[in-house]
Amino acid sequence: MATSDNFLKTPSKTPMNDKVSSSARKHNHQTTFSSSSSSTKSRFDAYNRLQSAAVAFGEKLPIPEIVALGGQSDGKSSLLEALLGFRFNVREVEMGTRRPLILQMVHDPTALDPRCRFQEEDSEEYGSPIVLASAIADTIKSRTEALLKKTQTAVSPKPIVMRAEYAHCPNLTIIDTPGFVLKAKKGEPETTPEEILSMVKSLASPPHRILVFLQQSSVEWCSSLWLDAIRDIDPTFRRTLIVVSKFDNRLKEFTDKWEVDRYLSASGYLGDNIHPFFVALPKERTTVSNEEFRRQISQVDADVIRHLQQNVKGGYDEEKYKSHIGFGCLRDYLESELQKRYKEATPATLALLEQRCSEVTAQLTSMDSKIQATSDVAHLRRSSMMFASSICNQVGALIDGAADPDPEQWGRTTEEEKSESGMGNWPGVISEIKPPNATLRLYGGAAFERVMHEFRCAAYSVECPPVSREKVANIILAHAGRGGGKGISEAAAEIARAAARSWLAPLLDTACERLAFVLKNLFDLAMEKNQRQHFDCDYGKKNGDMEGYVGFHAALRRSYNCFIKDLAKQCKQLVRHHLDSVTSSYSQVCYENDLLFSANSSYRNQTSASMSLDLSDQENIPPENNDRETTPGKLVKAAGEGEASAMTVPETPSPDQPRDGNYVLKKENGNFLEGGGGRKRHPRIQMNQGNGKVLGNLLGQNGGTTTYNEICCSAAQHFARIRQVLVERSVTSALNSGFLTPCRERLMVALGVDLFGVNDEKFMDMFVAPGAIDMLENERESLKKRQKILDSCLTEFKAVARSL
C-alpha cells in the first residue's frame, strides 16, 4: 500500500494542521481540567502521598500502580516519555536492560516546566530538583553503573525511584521494567535473560498492579515470544492491558477494510474479550521543546486515523475500534482505569492505613520503652530474665518432642549432622553406619535418640583387634611363675581391657560431641519457636524477643553454647569413668559369670525396646554374631536356652596331646567330657609346670591349637562382654542423665548466674554499647516521621472515603 511521503512527519502549516493543533491543545486542556476536578484531584493527591510514603519507607501497601512489560526495544521507554509529556532520552542509557525505574508522576498545575527528583539510595529522602533532560538521563546512567559495579552483576532488581512533577502529566505510578531478552549481551553473564524474566515476574505479580504489555506491530500474535510469559503472570489477562506499539509500521500492509478489522480484533489469539490498544509515537529524536513534543504525539494520532479512513478501502470499523487507536486514547483509558482502581481500593486502603498507623504507633511506644530502659536496670533485668526463661522452656519442649518449627526446614538428616558438626565417620569404624530414620530431618529429642542409636550401631561394629604374639608372650610369661593356673585367662582379660580402652574411648568422645551438636542447634529453634508463640497483649505485636538488643542476644547465645560445651566435657569424663570401671580388673567378675547370655541377644532386646520404630527406608542392623570374633582361633558358641552349656575353656595344652580346633568340653552331670571322645579330660596343666612347653605352644610349635589362639579367642569374648556392659548398662543412662537432665533442670540457673549474677555496670554492657543510644534515637525519629506521614495519609483518605 502506498503512503504519503509526509506520513507521520511534522507537517507544514495547513488548515488540517491547524485543526490537529487545536485538537492537541483541546486534549491537553481537557486532561488538565479533568485532573483538577475536586473529587478526582483529592483522590490523586491522597494516593500520591501514600505512594511516596510506601516507596520511602518500604511499606507494602496495595496501591494501584502500572507496570510496563515487554521485550527490549518494544517501545516501553517511548511510552513512558509520552505519558510524562517530555523527553529525557531514557533509551540512550539502556535503562530497560539494567534496573527497574519507578516513576512517580505528580500532576502539578503550577509546574509549567517538569521538576524531577531522585530518591537517594538507601534513604527516604529525595534530592534537589533536576530540570535539564540531559541531567536526568545522566543521573539514571551513573546510578545504574555505580550499583552494578558495586554488586558485580549485570542486572539488579533494586529500582531507581524518580519523582516527576509537571502540569502536563497525570497522577500515575509507572514501573518501567527491564526488557525481556533472548540472549545476554557480550560481556554479561549467560544467566542474564533468566534473571530479567524472574525480576519482571516478581514486579508484576502483586494483584493490585495493572500490567501494560507492549509488543511491536510487526510481530504476529502466533509468533509472540513473550505472550506466554505474561500468561504465566496473569493467565486470563484480567489486569493486563495489551498495547501494540509502532503501529505505523504495519499500516502500509492494509488495503481493504476486512484486513484492518481482522488485525485490530486479534480475537484468534487473544480471545473475544481482549481489545488491544494500537499506538504510534513520534520517531524523530531531534531536540524539540516539550510543547512541540506533545504536539507531535497528537499529530501522529491524527495521521494514523486519517490514514485508516482515507488510504484503506472502506476504512475500518470506527465504532468498534476507534476508542483503542492512538496514544491519546491509551492515556485517557489509563487515567480512567487507574481512577477506577483508586476508587475501588479506597475502603481497603483506609482500613490498611488505620492498621499500619496503629502498628507504627505501637513500634514507637516500644522504642520509647527501649530508650527509657537504657537507664532502667531493673526493667531490663526483669525483661531479659523472662526472655531467657522462655528460651529455656522452649529448649525443654524441643527435647520432649515438637513438630514446630517445621522439621523439614529446621531438622537435619544424619549425613547433614555429621557434615555440619565436623565429626564425619565414627573413629575406627570402616563400615558405613546408617541408623533407622537416618534420612529423616529431625531435631531435639528425636535427633538425640537417633545419635544414641547410631552410637550403639558403631560400638557393636567394632571387634577386638588382632594381637601380636610378642604382646601375648610379654603378658602371659609375666604370669608364668605366679602359679594358680590363671595366667591364660588373666592375659586374655588384660588384652581385652586394653583393646576396649583403646577402641571404645574415641567412640564415646564422638558420641558426646555429636549429642552436644544436636543440643547446640536447639538455641536457634527455641528463638524461632519463642518468636512465633509469644505476643504482646497490649499492642498485638511479637514480644519477648528483645529485638534490637544485639549484645544481649549474643551474650545469651554464648552462655548457652558454653553450658552445652561444659555438659559435653562432663559427659566425656563420666563415660570415661564408666569405661575405666568396666575395664578394671576388679570388675571382671561382673561380666565373667554372664557367659550364658550372648551380646547379640542382649543387644537386639535392648534396641528393639528403644528404637524399634523405623520411619525411614534405611536401617543399620548390628552384627548377628558378636561372639564370633575375627581374631585368630576358634570361638565356641554359647548354647541356647534348654540346651547343655558349651564353653570355650582357655587352657595350656600339653605338647604330648595336640588337638584340632574342634576340641570342645561338654558339661554333663557336673563333669566335663571331651567333645572328641568318651575319655575323661586330664586336669589342666598349671602355668608353673612346663613353662618351656607353654612357650613353645605360644609360638605355634608342635601343630594343633596353640595357647596363642586360645588367648585371642578368650580376649574376643572378654571384649564383647565389656562392650555389652558398657553400651547397654552404663553409657546410655549416663549420656541421657548427663545431657538431657541438666538441660531441663539446670539450664536456666546456669544462664541466670552467667548473665544476671553480675553488677549493674557489667550487666548494662550487654544493652548499651557505644553509640547504641544514638542509634535508638535515630530509629525513633524515623518512626516519628513515618507515623506523621501515615497519619496525614489516613486523614486524607478519610476525607476521600466520605466523598465516595
588 pLDDT exceeds 80? no
The per-residue pLDDT for 200 is 87
Alpha carbon of 88 to those of 72, 100, 375, 571: distances in Å? 18, 16, 54, 73
On whether the CB atoms of residues 452 and 732 are closer than 8 A, the answer is: yes
The mean per-residue pLDDT over the stretch 272-277 comes to: 84
DSSP 246-272: -THHHHTT--BHHHHHHHHH-HHHH-T
Burial tier of 328 (Cβ tally within 10 Å: 0-12, 13-18, 19+) = buried
Q: Specify whether the CB–CB gap between 776 and 548 falls below 8 A.
A: yes
pTM surpassing 0.75? no
Cα 331-95-202 angle, rounded to 5 deg: 75
In sequence order, the 6+-apart residues with CB closer than 8 A to the CB of 427 are 506, 507, 510
- pLDDT, tens digit (0-9, with 9 covering 90-100), for 65-117: 889 988 888 888 888 889 888 887 655 544 445 788 888 888 788 888 888 88
Residue 525 binned pLDDT confidence (cut-offs 50, 70, 90): very high
- Dig out the grid coordinates for 334 from the structure: 489509563
In this prediction, residue 391 has a pLDDT band, given cuts at 50, 70 and 90, of very high
Between CA 76 and CA 244, with CA 47 as vertex, the angle to 5 degrees is 20
Q: What residues contact residue 786 under an 8 Å CB cut-off, 6+ apart?
A: 53, 57, 360
Bridge partners (DSSP) listed for residue 107: 166
Upper half-sphere CA count for residue 454 (Cβ side, 13 Å): 32
Candidates 623, 609, 588; CA nearest to 732 is 609
Residue 118's SS3 state is strand
Number of Cβ within 10 Å of residue 468's Cβ equals 9
Report CA 619 to chain centroid distance, whole Å.
Answer: 30
DSSP letter for each residue of 647-713: E-------TTS---TT--EEEETTEEEETTSSSBPPPPPPTTS-HHHHHHHHTTTTSSS-HHHHHHH
Orientation angle between helical segments 327-373 and 15-35, nearest 10 degrees: 30
| Cis preceding linkage at 405, omega within 30 | yes
pLDDT digits (tens, 9 = 90+) for 422-465: 888 898 888 888 888 889 999 999 999 999 999 999 989 888 88
Q: 3-class DSSP state for residue 323?
A: helix
d(CA 321, CA 803): 34
What pLDDT, on the 0 to 100 scale, is given for residue 592? 52
Tell me: the pLDDT tens digits for 54-69?
Answer: 766 666 777 788 899 8
